[in-house]
Every structure is written in C-alpha cells, then in structure tokens.
C-alpha cells in the first residue's frame, strides 16, 4: 500500500513525468513489466483538502471532456462519475469505438471501457458544456485491461471496486486515458482515481497500456515481437 498523500497538482505532475517514458522502447516496456507485474502502479491517495474539494462540488463527478485536444502533443479523455450499488450490471456494450476498425491485427487488443460495463458504464457520455458526446472506451492491450494470467490490470482494480459497493455507500471515480499524440489510436497509459463515500477506499493508480513481449506503434496500433536473442544477451551482460 502506498502512503503518499497527494493533491490534484501532484497527480498532474506525476502524469507529466510518466509521459516521459518511451512506451515504444522494448527495454523500457520490459522494465515496466518486471517492476509492475500487475501492469499498474499505485501512486498514493488524495490528501484531506483534495478529498473535501472532490466531494463538495457536485460538478466534480459529472464530467466528460477531452483535455488539450488542440495541442500538438498529448490528448486526455477524462470521465468522472459517482458509481452506486444500483449501477452494477447495468452497463452497455461499446459500439463504434474510434480507431478499432483501423487496426489490421487486433489480437493483443481489447475494447476497454473507461467506466467498466460491470460498474454501469454507458456507451457514451455527454460533455454538458460543449454538448459533445465522448465514447466511454478506448483500445487497451490485453495486459492493461485484464492481464495475461489471472485478473490483473484495470480488471483487478475494478473487481475491488465492485466488491466494496453496497446499498449504503458509493464510489467517486475519475479515469483519464492519455494519448501521446492527439491523432494516435492507442493511449499510452490510464490514470484511475477512486474514492469511496466513507473514505475507506482512497487510491490512485497508473495503468500502463503495454503488452509484454511486443513493441507497439501507438499511432497505428501495429505491434512487433521483441528481439528475444538481443534481450537475452542484454540480461546476461548486465
């Protein structure tokens, strides 16, 4: 368990730091896989002031938006919602997910919900300011979505969320899906902020959208197997 107490600015700084990772580098992806076998990193929890801010402003959990879409670098899809026990099992299947049909070989990919179907996630969410609808989904690697062996990745975290919910509580959930370039069809990582109404759950996760043994072109979705001979030589050398 990570005891770091963070404010919202701290989270933004960690996101900026994580953007520096070269997710298309075989060596960096391999190191991430070794360091985080669950394919996610728990970075800490919200501090007291941030918790108060989160819960006192109703708009903080009715939000769907695209951040920095007009910049040449990075794009973030963000959805915040309250999730109740009554939402469980009422989610919708993703339809017409952007970028999915452009991928020639999708064997390592899943159509992933931003707010999980099991948690009541819809197909789209409305940005009430721009009246633009955003898909409640993105293209995730198998590792990022469910893991390769057992429930890992986002599924593992979402499973804990489902176990917690009952008729007397709710979750405040924020999910940010981060792309290196606004035109990319595959995001590089996902940020999950989860706080329960009684503060029993207060966690922040970074989920890496990588696939063990493959290098990904995040612009097109193409992927390439690692050079295992070279990797073995590097491990022996070091």
Q: CB neighbours of 232 closer than 8 A, spacing ≥ 6?
A: none
Q: Is the pLDDT of residue 15 over 80?
A: yes
d(CA 154, CA 112): 9
Average pLDDT over residues 159-173: 93
Give pLDDT tens digits for 61-79.
Answer: 566 667 665 556 778 888 8
What confidence tier does 56 reach under pLDDT thresholds 50, 70, 90?
confident
Instruction: Grade residue 236 by pLDDT with cuts at 50, 70 and 90.
Output: very low
Asked if pLDDT for residue 150 goes beyond 70, the answer is: no
Greater model confidence, 18 or 237: 18
pLDDT, one tens digit per residue, over 123-145 is 998 887 778 888 899 999 999 99
CA distances from 204 to 34, 56, 151 (A): 20, 19, 18
- For 180-193, the pLDDT digits (tens) are 998 999 999 999 99
pLDDT in tens, 91-125: 999 988 999 999 988 899 999 999 999 999 999 98
Q: Which residue is listed with tokens 């879409």?
A: 69
Q: Which domains, and CATH codes, for the chain?
A: 5-237 (3.40.570)
Angle at 82 between CA 77 and CA 84, to 5 degrees: 135
Output the pLDDT for position 238.
35
The two three-digit tokens of residue 95, written as one number: 């339809």
To the nearest 10°, report the CA torsion of 96, 82, 189, 29.
-110
pTM score > 0.75 for this model?
Answer: yes
The pLDDT assigned to 8 comes to: 87
Where do the H-state alpha helices sit in 73-152?
142-145
Could you tell me which residues come within 8 angstroms of residue 50 by beta carbon, excluding any fewer than 6 positions away?
A: 6, 7, 8
pLDDT > 90? residue 161: yes
Question: For 212-224, what is the mean pLDDT?
Answer: 94
| Pairwise CA distance, residues 87 & 238, whole Å | 50
Cα 34-9-63 angle, rounded to 5 deg: 95
- Tokens 């040449």 locate to 72
Task: Please report the pLDDT score of residue 60 as a whole number.
Answer: 52
């Amino acid at each position: 368990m990570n005891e770091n107490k963070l404010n919202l600015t701290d989270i933004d700084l960690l996101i900026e730091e994580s953007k520096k990772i070269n997710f298309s580098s075989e060596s960096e992806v391999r190191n991430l896989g070794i360091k985080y076998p669950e394919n996610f990193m728990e970075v800490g929890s919200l501090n007291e002031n941030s918790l108060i801010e989160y819960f006192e402003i109703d708009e903080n959990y009715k939000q769907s938006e695209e951040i920095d879409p007009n910049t040449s670098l990075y794009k973030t899809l963000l959805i915040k919602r309250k999730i109740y026990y009554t939402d469980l099992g009422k989610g919708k299947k993703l339809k017409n997910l952007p970028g999915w049909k452009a991928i020639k070989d999708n064997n390592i990919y899943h159509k992933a919900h931003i707010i999980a179907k099991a948690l009541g996630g819809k197909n789209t969410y409305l940005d009430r300011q721009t009246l633009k609808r955003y898909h409640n989904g993105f293209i995730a690697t198998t590792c990022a979505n469910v893991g390769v062996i057992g429930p890992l990745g986002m599924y593992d975290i979402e499973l804990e969320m489902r176990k917690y919910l009952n008729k007397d509580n709710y979750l405040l959930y924020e999910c940010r899906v981060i792309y290196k370039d606004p035109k990319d069809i595959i995001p590089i990582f996902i940020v999950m902020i989860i706080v329960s109404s009684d503060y029993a759950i207060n966690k922040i996760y970074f989920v890496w959208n990588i696939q063990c043994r493959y290098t990904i072109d995040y612009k097109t979705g193409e992927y390439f197997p690692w050079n295992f001979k070279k990797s073995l030589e590097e491990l022996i050398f070091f």
